[in-house]
């Protein structure tokens, strides 16, 4: 299998399926595309996908071109990795949380882009951004309460892959969910995601890019 991904310090959509693939223990190759270079970026994506975006998963002659669809495919291909919770109720909420991230939190995504090479700094919190942060605090608290942690739906699942880039944004922009109605457990959960060994491996690569290595 080959996963085509974008610049590691910025590409949240690439990080999610990359984490999920790593959890399977399966061998896969990664192909890196340089983002934010306009036509150069598009020229690098074109040989892999007709849709102009990464991530893209290639498995033989199969092409899967969306982060959530890639995660679903990997979960079905590697059932022993238990990438979704076994319990139907936990699975439903893990899927709902992933879908909410995939299609929502637009203000948080645009105001707080992932920047893994950037030192933590403050940010002006607009009313719209506060709204997304309150929604995030509500979601994390609700799921940690219901499923008992340590991850959103109990043990680590695709939902946690979806929120790992979010945790990195909170850290980069000095945002604590306790300031937006969240409980300390929500912030502790975000910090836990950033201790994940696979995330740390991705982050090390991202920092090397930022230090001038070829992204
Ligand atoms: N909904 C898509 C979004 C993918 C996406 O926005 N990818 C960005 C990079 S993170 C991209 O490929 N941009 C192409 C460009 O900047 O030219 C997914 O979940 O995979």
Delineate the domains of the chain, giving CATH numbers in brackets.
2-81 (3.40.30.10), 88-197 (1.20.1050.10)
179 Cβ closer than 6 Å to some ligand 1 atom:
no
- For ligand 1, whether the C-beta of 54 sits within 6 Å is yes
User: Over 50: is that where the pLDDT of 77 sits?
Assistant: yes
pLDDT at 67 over 70: yes
Alpha helices in the chain (DSSP H): 12-24, 39-45, 67-77, 88-103, 106-111, 127-147, 158-172, 184-193, 197-210
Q: In what order do the strands lie in the sheet with 2-6?
A: 29-33, 2-6, 56-59, 62-64
Please tell me if the CB atom of residue 154 comes closer than 6 angstroms to any atom of ligand 1.
Answer: no
Cα separation, 6 vs 111, whole angstroms: 20
Distance (Å, whole) CA 156 – CA 192: 11
Residue nearest to atom 10 of ligand 1 (CA): 11
In the predicted structure, residue 215 carries a pLDDT above the cut 80: no
Count Cβ neighbours within 10 Å for each residue of 90-106 and write b for 16 or more, e otherwise.
bbebbbebbebbbeebe
* pLDDT value at 156 more than 90: yes
Element (H, E) at 3: strand 2-6
Closest by Cα among 25, 22, 66, 11 to 199: 22
Residue 212 binned pLDDT confidence (cut-offs 50, 70, 90): low
Burial (CB count within 10 angstroms: exposed 0-12, middle 13-18, buried 19+), residue 210: middle
Model pLDDT for residues 106-152, shown as the tens digit of each residue: 999 999 999 999 999 999 999 999 999 999 999 999 999 999 999 99
Give the mean model confidence (pLDDT) for residues 166-182: 98
- Best residue among 10, 13, 20, 70 to mutate for probing ligand 1's pocket (most ligand atoms within 8 Å of CB) is 13
Closest CA to 103 of 13, 7, 11: 13
- Taking the CA atoms of the chain, what radius of gyration do you get in angstroms? 17
Q: What's the rounded Cα separation, in Å, for the pair 188 and 155?
A: 15
What is the pLDDT at residue 214? 46
């Amino acid at each position: 299998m080959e996963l085509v991904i974008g610049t590691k310090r910025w590409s949240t959509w690439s990080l999610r399926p990359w984490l999920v693939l790593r959890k399977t223990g399966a061998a896969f190759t990664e192909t890196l595309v340089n983002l934010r270079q306009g036509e150069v970026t598009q020229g690098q994506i074109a040989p892999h996908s007709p849709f102009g975006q990464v991530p893209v998963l290639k498995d033989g002659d199969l092409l899967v071109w969306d982060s959530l669809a890639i995660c679903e495919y990997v979960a079905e291909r590697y059932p022993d990795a238990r990438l979704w919770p076994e319990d139907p109720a936990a699975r439903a909420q893990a899927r709902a949380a992933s879908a909410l991230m995939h299609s929502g939190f637009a203000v948080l995504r645009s105001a707080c882009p992932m920047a893994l090479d950037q030192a933590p700094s403050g940010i002006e919190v607009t009313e719209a951004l506060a709204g997304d942060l309150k929604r995030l605090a509500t979601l994390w608290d609700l799921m940690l309460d219901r499923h008992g942690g340590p991850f959103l739906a109990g043990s680590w699942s695709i939902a946690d892959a979806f929120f790992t880039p979010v945790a990195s944004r909170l850290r980069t922009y000095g945002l604590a969910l306790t300031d937006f109605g969240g409980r300390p457990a929500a912030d502790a959960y975000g910090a836990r995601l950033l201790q994940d060994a696979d995330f740390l491996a991705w982050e090390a690569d991202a920092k090397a890019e930022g230090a001038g290595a070829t992204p």
